Amino acid sequence: MPPLPPPAQQPLPRVITYYQTHHTPDGKPISVLPLLTEPGISVTHVILAAIHINDDPDDLTLNDHHPSDPRFLTLWAELRVLQASGVKVLGMLGGAAQGSYMRLDGDEATFEQYYVPLRDMLRTHALDGIDLDVEEPMSLGGVIRLIDRIRQDFGKDFIITMAPVAAALLDVNRNLSGFDYEALEVMRGRDIAWYNAQFYCGWGDCSNPVMYEMILAKGWPPEKVVMGLVTNPENGGGWVPWEMLGAVLLTLRGRYARFGGVMGWEYFNSLPAGRERPWEWSKWMTTMLRADHTHTSPGPVQETKPVDTSNPVAKEVKKHLVDDVDPDGPNSKDAPLPASFDYYSDTNIDDD
């Protein structure tokens, strides 16, 4: 098979969705093809979650099942269609279920034992990259070894991203990963495409632009910091109402031509339409951030154009800009307190 052509660089800002819940409670596949077929959507990346490394090195799982399980036949076929249409597909390793990075942080022999099945899985399914979501203690040397090996095995065009909590980009002590992200950026920033920073669950605040701008003030480049959002209050604390969130995104897009974009956790129940039409979150984000782009926009990153405020969605958001962004304004609103939630995913569904 001839080598694939190098991928076109995706323009900023990115619109990224995590695809972690793949089936309905009765086992039907949750399709991501509407991200292509529905009009007005320009998603740049889909991140498939969650890959887990278990005690048995050969027992790699995508959520609760081996990636080759027949239940994933539709999933892999649809992701190939997305890739053929210019959407980059990454696999997310780790997350809240711990153990994957502990197994990759041992001696060289142990690392090889657990890394090789992961490498083979990424190759088998021709993923465009990997998202390292380290939510357990790992050494700086361990994550550098992992990044170096991925780069060695997959080449310069393979996308490597990280998914720290947003607070970790400001304070090494407010961190789930164990290592210092600032030190990692100094040592391996050339290999890390961007950071999917989690601005939710108490680790960040996206109800105004202050925390994002504090991260930039610390020296992080805007193109490398993606604002991570929950797409539904069911998925975690820190969901922000549309008018308030829209004001923040328009502000950041207006101030920073190289704004890194947004990611949403997760696809299957994304508001405003929820489970019935989860792709509408991506359509809304496209309107806010990428109305002038298409799925396959080629070439280098371009300066962003002004937001078309004649758009009805933008008009609705624009009238809330002062009230929602200025905390001292006479009509300012407080961000809602996170409600309790029952987190739903494939891992909550009984096996057939």
Q: What is the pLDDT of residues 232-254, one digit of tens each?
A: 999 999 999 999 999 999 999 99
- Read off the pLDDT of residues 119-168 as tens digits, 9 standing for 90 and up: 999 999 999 999 999 999 999 999 999 999 999 999 999 999 999 999 99
Residue 315 pLDDT > 70: no
Tell me the average pLDDT of the chain: 86
DSSP per-residue codes, 99-143:
-HHHHTSS-HHHHHHHHHHHHHHHHHTT-SEEEEE--S---HHHH
H helices of the chain, where?
A: 34-37, 73-84, 100-103, 108-124, 140-154, 181-188, 210-217, 242-255, 280-289, 312-318, 321-325
For 253, the 3-state DSSP assignment is helix
CA atoms within 13 A on the CB side of 71: 21
Least confident of 2-6, 11-15, 167-171, 266-270: 2-6
Give 173's contacts (C-beta < 8 A, 6+ positions apart).
none
Residue 32 has pLDDT above 60, yes or no: yes
Check pLDDT > 80 for residue 283.
yes
Q: Which domains does the chain have, with CATH numbers?
A: 14-348 (3.20.20.80)
| CA dihedral sign of residues 148, 150, 152, 156 | negative
User: DSSP state, 231?
Assistant: S
Would you tell me how many other CB atoms lie within 10 Å of the CB of residue 202?
Answer: 13
**pLDDT tens by residue, 62-78:** 999 999 999 999 999 99
pLDDT tier, 306 (very low <50, low <70, confident <90, very high otherwise): very low
Who contacts 276 (Cβ-Cβ below 8 Å, separation ≥6)? none
Q: Which tokens go with 248? A: 């923040």
Q: How confident is the model at residue 10 (pLDDT cuts 50, 70, 90)?
A: low
Q: Which of 88, 69, 8, 18 is nearest to 263 (CA)?
A: 18
Residue range 222-236, pLDDT digits in tens:
999 999 999 999 999
Q: What tokens appear for 17 in the block?
A: 């969705």
Specify the long-range contacts of residues 73-76, CB closer than 8 Å, at least 24 apart: 74/29, 74/31, 75/22, 75/29, 75/48, 76/125
Q: What is the pLDDT of residue 335?
A: 35
- Both tokens of 124, joined, read 């088998």
Tokens for 256? 């920073």
The number of angstroms, rounded, from the C-alpha of 214 to the middle of its chain's C-alpha atoms is 21
Question: Are the C-beta atoms of 347 and 64 separated by less than 8 Å?
Answer: yes
For a pLDDT cut of 90, what percent of the chain falls above it?
78
pLDDT mean over 245-270: 98
Sign of the dihedral through C-alpha 201, 207, 210, 216: positive
Query: How many residues make up the chain in this entry?
Result: 352
Model confidence at 346, pLDDT cuts 50, 70, 90, reads low
344: pLDDT confidence band, cut at 50, 70 and 90? Answer: very low
pLDDT band at 330 (very low <50, low <70, confident <90, very high): very low
| Tokens standing for residue 14 | 């990115």
Question: CB neighbours (10 Å) of residue 57?
Answer: 16
Name the β-bridge partners of 45. 16, 88
Has residue 327 got a pLDDT over 90? no
- pLDDT-derived band at 96 (thresholds 50, 70, 90) equals confident
Lookup: tokens for 193: 């495409």
Report how far residue 125's alpha carbon sits from residue 72's, in angstroms, rounded to the nearest whole number. Answer: 11
Hey, what are 277's tokens? 């039409």
Mean pLDDT value of segment 38-48: 98
pLDDT at 325 over 80: no
In this predicted structure, the answer to whether residue 303 has a pLDDT above a threshold of 60 is no
